[in-house]
Each structure stands twice: as structure tokens, then as C-alpha cells.
Amino acid sequence: MTTLNQMHINHSCVFKTVSDERIRDYLMAHGVLPGSPLCVIAKIPFNGAITCDCRHTRLAIRAEDAACIVVDA
């Protein structure tokens, strides 16, 4: 099981599921559904935010929230 915070910059993955309902609602509000492609664009050092691209939409996700997002690498 790979989570979004484990992905490297410029690597693509596919969103599978999320363990936190609050994060799920945030992702769904931005059009990220199971099966959506994600690409990590940037990571702030020292457990900072992760910037992802999903279908030409950029999302900033806190590292602790990204740890709840399961992806298929």
C-alpha cells in the first residue's frame, strides 16, 4: 500500500482511496475521484505541503493528509 506522501516529485500515480472523510470531501470537491491520475509536482521540505496535478488542476495537500491518501504507483 503506497500513500501519496511516499511518492517522489514528477512521479505519477492513480488515486485509490482515502481513510479520512474530511480529506475525501476536499478531493471530491476538486474533482479527484477513485481512478483519477495524480502527479506530484512539488514537496516542501521537512514534512511540508505536497503539490499535485490532477487533470490540469493543482492541489496543495498537507503531508499528514497525504499520508491518508492511498495511491497505485
Angstrom distance (rounded) from CA 48 to CA 35: 25
| CATH superfamily label, 2-72 | Ferrous iron transport protein A (FeoA) (2.30.30.90)
Say what the pLDDT of residue 23 is. Answer: 96
- From residue 69, alpha-carbon distances to 15, 37, 52 in Å are 7, 13, 12
Q: Where are the domains of the chain?
A: 2-72
Quickly count: other Cβ atoms within 10 Å of residue 27's Cβ.
Answer: 22
Q: Per residue of the chain (73 residues), what is the pLDDT tens digit?
A: 899 999 999 999 999 999 999 999 999 999 999 999 999 999 999 999 999 999 999 999 999 999 999 999 8
Say what the pLDDT of residue 1 is. Answer: 87
Q: Indicate whether this model's pTM tops 0.85.
A: yes
